[in-house]
A and B are shown apart, each in its own frame.
Chain A
Amino acid sequence: MSATAATFERLATVERSPGYWSGVIRRLRRDPVAMVALAIIIGLVLMALFSPWIAPADPYRSSMLRRLRPIGTPGFPLGTDELGRDMLSRLIYGARLSLLMGVTPVFIAFFVGSFLGITAGYVGGKVNTVVMRTVDVFFAFPSVLLAIALSGALGAGIFNGLLSLSIVFIPPIARIAESVTTAVRKIDYVEAARASGASSMTIIRVHVLGNVLGPIFVYATGLISVSLILASGLSFLGLGVKPPEPEWGLMLNTLRNAIYVQPWVAALPGLMIFITSISFNLLSDGLRSAMDIKA
């Protein structure tokens, strides 16, 4: 953890030359792995947005006459599931809920966690103690356990799943935000601005946010893959999305009983989760090294 925090502190306190961000983008564009990952992610998002136009069939339409067909069946290129629904269409539609369930919690946690962390880091003192000790408590749970504890107690459902996952990701983001903000606050020009009597809001807006949000954002992109796996995991356990909605984790759960009949069809939804998660990880890695210039 401390190593990670140090990395992001360094990212935040790097002096930003005017061409900094264009430099980051230029370096990122020269990273072929990150570019492929980005392309896949854009493809997945487009798939989610335009599923009704892309999917060849109705993802809810079942037929008992064509259950569990293998990959490569004419008309059903990726086979059919246990209720005879077209796998390709369900995988395409599945991107909607899976991405929503995976990305939204990190998004919410990014805002809430940054707010808490920046406030604690900037104000310091008692506020810092209260916020950060509370964060420590939640941080003391392994993330999987916390997500399952919360959604297990709240019960199944999309909203409860989103809520639990958001709570899981607030503590790590708040921690990073706090340590980065504390580091930035100590930088000379921020100190100088404070001394010159600039208002707190101005300092936060101009100096702190400008330097701090970037690194936190990069850190948050690294959490998306964890969040995706966890969100689908909740559905896999019957806690997140409920049937008959197409969602990769839930599909994996219901298809698990078919591994003796169509093992590779049953494994497809997991492959989607894997591809999505690894793409986010590679992009996040690329972003990090593009920003991390050791000047």
Chain B
Amino acid sequence: MLLYIAKRVLYTLPVALGVSIVCFMLVHIAPGDPLTSVLPPDASAQLQAEMRRLYGFDRPLPVQYGLWLLKTLQGDLGTSIATGRAVAVELWSAMGNTLMLAVLATAIGFVLGCLFGFVAGYFRDSWIDKLASFVSIIGVSVPHYWLGMVLVIIFSVQLNWLPATGAGPGGSADWVWDWAHIRHLILPAVTMSVIPMGIVARTVRALVADILSQEFIVGQRAKGLLDLGVLRHVIKNAAPTALAVMGLQLGYLLGGSILIETVFSWPGTGFLLGQAIFQRDLPLLQGTILVLAMFFVALNLIVDVVQTLLDPRVQRS
């Protein structure tokens, strides 16, 4: 098993390197001179020359990549064009906000998804199953940015129960877990939870149905030895996969938070990314994408390793 884990880690390295190359290339696929894309338009000639040297824009691409990678590995993600602040600093606070939102959304989605999926799988082909399956298919089909808007219309505009945007009275910097702040988290988190809910429900339903159709269980159920023992068996066998799906969903939410954060003006990485796109702030865009993608790669690795530890039979290629 250790060997497998070591192999899995080794396999991640070239992927991570590839991801970094894609991120590096973002500045180069952008139309125009890469230098002008990382500098404010009115930068002095002196500054331009300085940056050209610093970024190595006059050198061949592989050399530029090497220089960039070296700086990135030291934690230097460049400077935002729009604000003049270090990208790493900008990302740091935003990352925390997005994590908070995504973790909560994943948790809600996981609990609800397991519930729906379990009920549907347990009463397979009954009307409950059909209903639960329909709910889960809505979860994967609904454009979540629209769902966010609809929730805002209902709960903010019509009922005036919950705030429509922002991260609370003190902004994220003064975040405390009190009602005044938590109420800002509810709508975005619920909106976001719909995606993992649908997927977790589908997975759990398939798993539960599969396990219940095993001869051993069928026999148990026939003998009337039901519920608790069967339940334990189902949970034990379904948990590793369900948890793995949850872990990956967390990664998707972190990377895909831009639409929801835009709808709710939530000050996380997605919001930052939205700003970077509008301001054509390529260093900020590049840095944010890189960090989020690396996070996803790392999460994939962790999920695989944990899953293997939980259930040595599952060794994903």
Contacts and interface: CB of A to CB of B under 8 A. Distances in A.
Given A142-B251, A142-B252, A225-B140, A233 B18 contact: no
A236 B262 CA distance: 10
A140 B296 contact: yes
B277 A270 contact: no
B145 A233 contact: yes
B143 A270 contact: yes
Contacts of B147: 270
A278 B141 contact: yes
A278 B136 CA distance: 11
Most buried by B among A2, A150, A270, A277: A270
Given A152-B276, A153-B30, A263-B158, A145 B289 contact: yes
Nearest to B280: A155
Interface stretch (A8-16, A82-90, A131-139, A201-209): A131-139
Contact of B149 (A138, A143, A252, A278): A252
B142 A277 contact: yes
A137 B22 contact: yes
Contacts of B285: 149, 152-153
Interface in B1-30: 14-16, 18-19, 21-23, 26-27, 29-30
Interface residues of B, number: 57
B316 A2 contact: yes
B268 to A, nearest CB: 13
Contacts of B203: 3
A81 to B, nearest CB: 15
Interface-central residue, A152, A155, A271, by most chain B CB under 10 Å:
A152
B145 A137 contact: no
A184 interface: no
Interface residues of A, number: 47
Interface in B143-163: 143-147, 149-150, 152-153, 157-158
A150 B282 CA distance: 11
A193 interface: no
Given A141-B22, A141-B255, A141-B293, A148 B273 contact: yes
Contact of B141 (A3, A136, A225, A239): A225
A216 B65 CA distance: 36
A149 B26 contact: yes
A87 to B, nearest CB: 15
B300 interface: yes
A284 to B, nearest CB: 10
B41 interface: no
B241 to A, nearest CB: 8
Interface in A170-226: 225
DSSP majority for the A interface?
helix
Contact of B137 (A229, A239, A285): A285
A252 B273 CA distance: 20
Interface string A269-295: 111011001100110010000000000
Contact of A239 (B26, B30, B255, B277): B277
Contacts of B56: none
Given A145-B292, A252-B149, 10 more contacts: A137-B19, A141-B293, A144-B256, A145-B293, A148-B289, A150-B26, A233-B143, A260-B157, A267-B150, A269-B146
Interface of A: 1-3, 133-134, 136-138, 140-145, 148-150, 152-155, 225, 229, 232-233, 236-239, 252, 256, 259-260, 263-264, 266-267, 269-271, 273-274, 277-278, 281-282, 285
In order of increasing CB-CB distance, the 3 nearest A-B pairs are: A270-B146, A142-B255, A137-B18
10 contacts: A2-B316, A142-B296, A144-B259, A153-B27, A154-B30, A232-B143, A252-B146, A259-B153, A263-B158, A278-B137
Interface of B: 14-16, 18-19, 21-23, 26-27, 29-31, 137-138, 140-147, 149-150, 152-153, 157-158, 203, 206, 241, 251-252, 254-256, 258-259, 262-263, 273-274, 276-278, 280, 282, 285, 289, 292-293, 296-297, 300, 316-317
